[in-house]
Amino acid sequence: MFDPNEVKRDFPIFANNPGLTFLDSAASSQKPRVVIDALAHYYEYDHANVHRGAYELSQRATEAYEHARAQLAGFLNADPDEIVFVRNATEALNLVAYAWGLANLRAGDEILLTEMEHHANLVPWQLAAQRTGAQIKAVPVTAAGRLDLDAFEALLSERTRVFAVTQMSNVLGAVNPVAELAAAARERGALVVVDGAQGAPHLPVRVDELNADFYALSGHKMLGPTGAGVLWGRRDVLGRMPPFLGGGSMIDRVEITSSSYTAPPQRFEAGTPAIAEAIGLGVAAEYLKELGMDDVWEHDRRLTRYALERLREVPDLHLYGPTGEDRGAVVAFNLGSLHPHDLATALDERGVAVRTGHHCAQPLHRRLGVAATARASFYVYNDESDVDRLLEALLEAREFFKAWL
């Protein structure tokens, strides 16, 4: 098992911001030196456009970019030609909803989502539904903060053409039994789309065991740069899917009025990609692999258990999400009736950075009966001392706001 304090030394942001307790990795993680260096090295030594130039520099850039694709494939236990580079999970999910959804959905079809989805896995499906006449249904969340599995069974039918689900909730920390749900949905003939934005950074993921057709992730949440994410797609599904964006790099032959397209993954990478960012993401994936994703998950769970235990000591603090072993490294809370924004500002004054708001999950917050929450999230560079500082800051904030609670 790695030592989070040693890991922390790999991240320059902490030396440059002494006293910072960073508890917002679920929004975007910090970057290790190797990732930052990889970006600079690429621009200083290897930059040219990819898949175009006949000259050596361009070939080197192409090799580095394709190497990153292989690294991501290794990280997900997939084949490189199933890895499509996109900007982030949002783009990956939009790609599927537009390219697959518009080509395959019809009036009378149903898209099954869940109440705990991030807007990135809701709104693209709403847009697809509006254009095709398909209907959206959602699996409710129980009072215990988990998916209602009986409701899932009841909502699944022959009409279900798509089942789109998050691997881990960015608010509740609940980890969904994706492989089982996906198997049931695929058995009914539904396309299964997994939002791995919170799963990929924290859980060992083998897409070959997930029973899904698509898996979306954001590189910037897993130690990579912003601007690079991945859509993994099952080879045969990707092969049958029409393009999302048209332009350079994704075509075979172009006439004035029509074109034929290259095979995946290039078919879905129109235009010049985020080359440096993809390379940086490849390095981030290697860094995580070296830490060991089993150990990352173990570390996250241990820290989350510790956080839940300590935070229960704070009077008037309401914690959201399930209890149990399979809970990921986010803890959402509210202090009495205090607006979470005021609470977060008070925590920030004490050097503790947490996120507040609806975390792009308004339907879930409606289900929780609140407009907003504060959220602390942990990653490989956090340890118990960060939780202790959060606790101290919360107790001080409570003292300060006593009259308003």
Q: Does 197 bind ligand PLP (CB under 6 A)?
A: yes
d(CA 51, CA 63): 9
Query: How many residues are present in the chain?
Result: 405
The least distance separating ligand PLP from the CB of residue 191, rounded to whole angstroms, comes to 18
Strands 229-233 and 251-254 come out as unpaired
* Catalytic residue list contains 380: no
One residue of 170, 356, 377, 382 binding ligand PLP per CB under 6 A:
170
Minimum CB distance to ligand PLP smaller for 88 or for 304: 88
**Buried (b) or exposed (e) across 200-236, using 16+ Cβ within 10 A?**
bbbbbbebeebbbbbbbbbbbbbbbbbbbbbbbbbee
Q: Choosing from 251, 270, 314, 360, which is the catalytic residue? A: 360
Tell me whether residue 118 or residue 299 sits nearer to ligand PLP (CB atom): 118
Say which residues have a Cβ less than 8 Å from residue 380's Cβ, sequence separation at least 6. Answer: 2, 4, 7, 223, 288, 291, 296, 299
Is residue 195 involved in binding ligand PLP (CB under 6 A)? yes
Q: In what order do the strands lie in the sheet with 214-218?
A: 83-86, 229-233, 214-218, 191-195, 160-166, 110-114, 135-139
Smallest distance from the beta carbon of 381 to ligand PLP, in angstroms? 19
| Residue numbers 52-91 binding ligand PLP by CB under 6 A | 88-90
Q: Output Rg (C-alpha) for the chain, integer angstroms.
A: 22
CB of 334 to ligand PLP, least distance (A): 19
From residue 117 to residue 156, what is the string marking binding to ligand PLP with x (rule CB under 6 A)?
Answer: -x-xx-----------------------------------
Least distance (Å) from ligand PLP to the CB of residue 328? 10
Residues of 318-341 as b/e, b for ≥16 C-beta within 10 angstroms?
ebbbbeeeebbbbbbbbbeebbbe
Please report how close the Cβ of residue 3 comes to ligand PLP at its closest, in angstroms: 27
Among 166, 211, 356, 373, binds ligand PLP (CB under 6 A): 166
Dmax (CA) for the chain in angstroms is 72
Please, which residue, 164 or 394, has the CB nearer to ligand PLP?
Answer: 164
Query: Where in the sequence numbering do the catalytic residues fall?
Result: 360
Task: Enumerate binding residues for ligand PLP (CB under 6 A).
Answer: 27, 88-90, 118, 120-121, 166, 170, 195, 197-198, 218, 360
